[in-house]
Amino acid sequence: MTKEKNKIIYLEILRIIAAFFVIFNHTGNDGFFLFSLKSSNHLPFWIYAFISVFCKFAVPLFFMISGSLYLKRDNLTIKEIYLKRILKIFIITLVFSTIYYLYLNHLKNVDISFLSYLKQLITCGISSHFWYLYMYIIFLMTLPFLKIIVNNMDHKLFNYLIIIMLIFDGIIPIINFLIFKEELTFYRLLTPIWALNIVFIYPIVGYYLDNKIDLSQHQKRIIPLWIINIILIIITCLMTKYHANIIHVLSEKTSQIFYNNFVIINAITIFLTIKYLTPNNKFNSILAKTGKYTFGIYLFHILVMKTPYFNDFITHLKDINLNTGLIALIMCLTTYIISFIITFAISNIPFLKKLVGF
Residue 269's alpha-carbon distances to 100, 217, 274, 319, in angstroms, are 34, 16, 9, 38
Mean pLDDT of the chain: 89
Confidence tier at 231 by pLDDT (50, 70, 90):
very high
Confidence tier at 4 by pLDDT (50, 70, 90):
very low
Least confident of 19-23, 219-223, 336-340: 219-223
Output helix, strand, coil percentages for the chain, rounded to the nearest 5. Answer: 80, 0, 20
Instruction: Note whether 346 and 352 are within 8 A (CB).
Output: yes
- Give the dihedral sign, CA 244/260/299/81: positive
Asked if residue 1 has pLDDT above 60, the reply is no
Q: What is the pTM of this model?
A: 0.92
For residue 211, the Cα-to-chain-centroid distance in whole angstroms is 21
Q: So what's the pLDDT on residue 188?
A: 54
Q: What whole-number distance in Å separates Cα of residue 139 and Cα of residue 122?
A: 18
Mean pLDDT of 104-130: 92
Q: What whole-number distance in Å separates Cα of residue 225 and Cα of residue 205?
A: 16
